[in-house]
């Protein structure tokens, strides 16, 4: 990966997104409790995320490979997720929380397979396991740091600040991919 510019760019901006996503991490349960929800709402809203992601994956799988520049799907996924994080600012009950989780399902369906497709396109055939391992190491470290820093942010500044940072980082991820020359990715 040292000489693989495409993977360095992809890792950089997806790490920024993963950092953003992990800021909320286990604090999601506390957020749901703060809006009056409990264990059942946490479970239902999480299920809505997985089910909506599955539904949207069906559509993404039908037309995603027809796009010549798949980077735009990745950009869209970051922007959809930013909308979700900013949407958390307005959540005051179960219905809006569930809608936001469906939005995250769309973001996941747009981004997860697209990241994998772009990643696999740029792997060095003699270092595939190494490059996938590099990504796993980077992702795990970034998410561990994000979880700790997210806890610090909420304890110090509250959820509003956290959601603003999360949405902003997703926008930076989208801009980074957008501004990267297409010949690189």
- Could you tell me if 105 and 50 are in contact, meaning their C-beta atoms sit under 8 angstroms apart? yes
| pTM greater than 0.75 | yes
State the angle between helix axes of 159-179 and 128-157 in degrees (0 to 180), rounded to the nearest 10. Answer: 150
Nearby residues of 47 by Cβ (< 8 Å), 6 or more positions away: none
Return the CATH architecture of domain 5-179: Up-down Bundle (1.20)
- Could you tell me if 119 and 135 are in contact, meaning their C-beta atoms sit under 8 angstroms apart? yes
Cβ neighbours around 126 below 10 Å, total: 8
Q: How far apart are CA 140 and CA 19, in angstroms?
A: 10
From residue 106, alpha-carbon distances to 48, 129, 158 in Å are 11, 29, 27
Q: Please, what's the b/e burial string for 13-43 (b: 16 or more CB within 10 A of its CB; e: otherwise)?
A: bbbbbbbbbbbbbebebebbeeeebeeebbe
Structure tokens at 82: 């930013």
pLDDT(1) > 70: no
Reported as a single tens digit per residue, the pLDDT across 17-54 is 999 999 999 999 999 999 999 999 999 999 999 999 99
**Alpha helices for the chain (secondary structure H):** 5-24, 27-34, 39-63, 71-87, 94-122, 128-157, 159-179
Mean predicted lDDT score pLDDT of the chain: 96
Average pLDDT over residues 54-71: 92
Nearby residues of 29 by Cβ (< 8 Å), 6 or more positions away: 42
Reported as a single tens digit per residue, the pLDDT across 127-148 is 999 999 999 999 999 999 999 9
């Amino acid at each position: 990966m040292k000489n693989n510019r495409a993977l360095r760019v992809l890792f950089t901006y997806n790490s920024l997104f993963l950092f953003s996503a992990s800021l909320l991490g286990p604090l999601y349960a506390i957020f749901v409790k703060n809006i009056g929800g409990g264990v059942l709402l946490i479970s239902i809203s999480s299920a809505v995320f997985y089910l909506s992601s599955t539904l949207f994956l069906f559509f993404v799988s039908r037309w995603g490979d027809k796009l010549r520049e798949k980077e735009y799907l990745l950009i869209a996924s970051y922007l959809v997720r930013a909308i979700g994080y900013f949407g958390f600012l307005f959540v005051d009950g179960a219905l809006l929380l569930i809608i936001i989780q469906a939005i995250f399902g769309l973001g996941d369906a747009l981004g997860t397979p697209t990241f994998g497709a772009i990643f696999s396109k740029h792997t060095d055939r003699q270092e595939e396991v190494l490059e996938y391992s590099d990504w796993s190491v980077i992702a795990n470290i970034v998410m561990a740091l994000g979880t700790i820093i997210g806890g610090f942010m909420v304890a110090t500044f509250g959820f509003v600040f956290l959601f603003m940072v999360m949405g902003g980082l997703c926008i930076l991820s989208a801009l980074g991919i957008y501004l990267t020359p297409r010949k690189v990715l």
